Amino acid sequence: MRFLVASCAVLGLALGAVGPADAWGAFGHRIISAVAVATLPDSVPAFLRTPAAQAEIRVLGPEADNLRRAGPAFDGDRDAAHFLDLEDDGTVQHAVALANLPATRGAYETALRARGRSPDDKPTQWDAGYLPYEIIEGWEQVSRDFALWRLDVYGETHAATAADRDAFAAARTLRETLTLRDIGYWSHFVADGSQPLHVSVHYNGWGNYPNPHNYSNSKTVHARFETAFVNAHASEALVAPRVGPYVTGTGPFPARVATYLLATNSHMEAVYQFEAADAFTRGTPEAVSFALDRLADGARALRNWIVDAYAASEDQRVGYPAAPVRDYESGKVPLTPGRLSD
C-alpha cells in the first residue's frame, strides 16, 4: 500500500506540473476524497479507516483527471463521464428527466436519440454527459468489492484446511488494495457531482440561452471558481466540520444520485451571482462559505455512499452457483476457494 501511495503521489506531482487541473482541480478533489474517508463511521471495515487508506484515497481523488488526454479512443469514451448538461427544466436534452433516469446507459442514450429535434440531431450520452451513470456504476462496483472482501474474511477463518485459509487471506489482502483503488477512482466522479457547473448547460459562461440577469459568458468562470478560488481558500480542516454525521440512505441508489445532482444544480446560478459581484476575486466570506459547502456536499455524499455500499454488500449474490453473501457468512452455503473467481 505504501508503494502505491508513494507512486501515485509522484505521478500526481509530475502530471500536475504539465498544465492546469480539470474538474474541481486536484486540490479540491483531494479535499473531498480525504474528508470522506476521515469521517467514515466504525460500521465500515477497519482497513478503510487507517491513515494509509486515507492517504491513498486522497491521492487517487484526481486520478480520473490525471488519465485524461491519454489518447483519442480513451478520451472520446471517458471525457463525458465527468459532467451532465442539465437543462434549466431539470431534463437532459429535454428528453430525459434526471428524476426518472433509465436503468442503463444504453437505455439513456436510446431516449436521447429518440428526442432528436431533426434527423441530423440525435444527441448521445457523449453530447449530454453521463455523470449519473459513472457514479451509479462506481457504487455497484464498490459494493461488489465489499461482498468479495467479506467472503475472503469469512474464508480466512472458517475454511476447512490451512491451505484454503491461506488462499482466502491472500485474496483478502488483494481485495483491500483493489477496493481502495476503486473507491479512490470513483470518488472523483462523486466529487464532480458537487460542482454546480458540472451539472448544467451553463457550464462555462451562461451560453446561448435566455439571460435576463446578464450573467457572464466568460470562458474563465469555471476554472476561476473551482481551481484558483478553492486553492486559495479551502482546506480539509475547513471542509470537515461541514460534513456532519452519517445518515442512512433510503430508496433506490439511482434516485439518491438524481437527488444529489439536482441539489447541486440548484446552486448553479449562485456561482454566476458571485462571479458578477467579483466575489471570487475579492474572496468574500460568503463566496468562501459557498465553496466550502459545495466541497462538503461531495465529501458527505461519498462518505455516506461508501457506508451504504458496504451495508448493501450482504445482499450481493456471489460465486457459482450464486448465493447472497449473508448465506455464506451464516454458514448456510459452504465456502471454498474454488467457488469464487478471485
The 10s digit of each residue's pLDDT in 145-155 is 999 999 999 99
Residue 22 is predicted with a pLDDT of 54
Report the SS3 class of residue 121: strand
Question: Are the C-beta atoms of 184 and 145 separated by less than 8 Å?
Answer: no
Q: Domain 2-85+129-329: which topology? A: P1 Nuclease (1.10.575)
Provide the pLDDT confidence category of residue 341 given band limits of 50, 70 and 90. low
56 phi, psi to nearest 5 deg: -70, -45
User: 227-285, pLDDT tens digit by residue?
Assistant: 999 999 999 999 999 999 999 999 999 999 999 999 999 999 999 999 999 999 999 99
Question: pLDDT at position 339, please?
Answer: 67
CB 96 within 8 A of CB 123: no
Q: Render pLDDT for 20-46 as a digit per residue (tens, 0 to 9).
A: 335 699 999 999 999 999 999 999 999
- Is 38 or 115 the better-scoring residue by pLDDT? 38
Residue ranges covered by each domain of the chain: 2-85+129-329
The residues facing 261 across adjacent strands are none
Higher pLDDT, 139 or 22: 139
229 and 291 Cβ atoms separated by less than 8 Å = yes
What residues have CB less than 8 Å from 175, skipping those under 6 apart?
Answer: 145, 148, 149, 152, 342
Q: Quote the pLDDT of residue 9.
A: 37
Q: Are 168 and 159 in contact (CB under 8 A)?
A: yes
Helices (H) and strands (E) in the chain, counts: 17, 4
Q: Is the separation of the CB atoms in 1 and 184 below 8 Å?
A: no
CB atoms within 10 A of CB 182: 17
Rg of the chain over all Cα atoms, to the nearest angstrom? 21
Q: In this structure, are residues 182 and 138 in contact, taking their beta carbons and an 8 Å threshold? A: yes
Residues 6+ apart with CB under 8 A from 20: 223, 227
| β-strand partners of 121 | 118
Closest by CA to 297, choosing from 248, 239, 224, 252, is 239
> Is the separation of the CB atoms in 296 and 242 below 8 Å?
yes
Give yes or no for residue 13 having a pLDDT over 80.
no
Range 122-134 average pLDDT: 92
